[in-house]
A and B are shown apart, each in its own frame.
Chain A
Amino acid sequence: DVVMTQSPLSLPVTLGQPASISCRSSQSLLYSDGDTYLNWFHQRPGQSPRRLIYNVSNRDSGVPDRFSGSGSGTDFTLKISRVEAEDVGVYYCMQGTHWPLTFGGGTKVEIK
């Protein structure tokens, strides 16, 4: 199975400051069709997960433009340009290129 490794595990951030989460895969996520199936999800405390980004950098409808995804091959990054209070929670990357689907262990974002 493809192992997804996120860092850091915990990320204390200051409101209004940028934040960055890394996700690395044990195999390249570039598929033969030219797409890279790397997704980012956000789960607030007590809520269900919400997809933020699909195919590395495509933001879902309604997701603020302070969120951006980038990367290729095995190295991916989720960036928040200016953290707001509603951004707390756990962020997960997930690969959909290889069977079976696998998630990263999560990064917990909290406000300092």
Chain B
Amino acid sequence: EMQLLESGGGLVQPGGSLRLSCAASGFTFRSHAMSWVRLAPGKGLEWVSSISGSGGNTYYADSVKGRFTISRDNSKDTLYLQMNSLRGDDTAIYYCAKGFPLRVAGFDYWGQGTLVTVSS
């Protein structure tokens, strides 16, 4: 059974850092691009970042570019999101999702999410 399990969320002060992880199982992780999508309170879903299967190509929304870094360890079947210079509007549930559906199918599997709260 395919599973995605996020961890690493929590409460952090503005300007702080946090690293999220997403452990994958049940599919050939290295063969698939992976993404992070977030859901802020009272708002809709927002694509945050994606990475190719090899890790050689990364993509970011303008709202996080220069502050967040996506990476992956295919030997551990794990996806990461390093979040620096966090702001209040980064408060959200962060989901990892399988795929990067730019002109292909994707986002067919999602994790349960991890909550990030940025507040002093």
Q: Is A92's CB under 8 angstroms from B101's CB?
A: no
Q: Choose one: B59, B62, B95, B101; the contact of A49 (CB below 8 Å).
A: B95
Q: Choose one: B37, B59, B106, B108; the contact of A96 (CB below 8 Å).
A: B106
Q: Choose one: A43, A51, A94; the contact of B108 (CB below 8 Å).
A: A51
Q: Which residues on the A side are within 8 Å of B104 (C-beta)?
A: 37, 96
State the majority secondary structure of interface residues on B.
loop
Q: How many residues of chain B are within 8 Å of chain A by beta carbon?
A: 23
Known contacts: A48-B95, A96-B102, A101-B101. The answer to whether A106 contacts B44 by CB under 8 A is: yes
Q: How many residues of chain A are within 8 Å of chain B by beta carbon?
A: 28
Q: Is A100's CB under 8 angstroms from B61's CB?
A: yes
Q: Is B107's CB under 8 angstroms from A31's CB?
A: no
Q: Is B45's CB under 8 angstroms from A41's CB?
A: yes
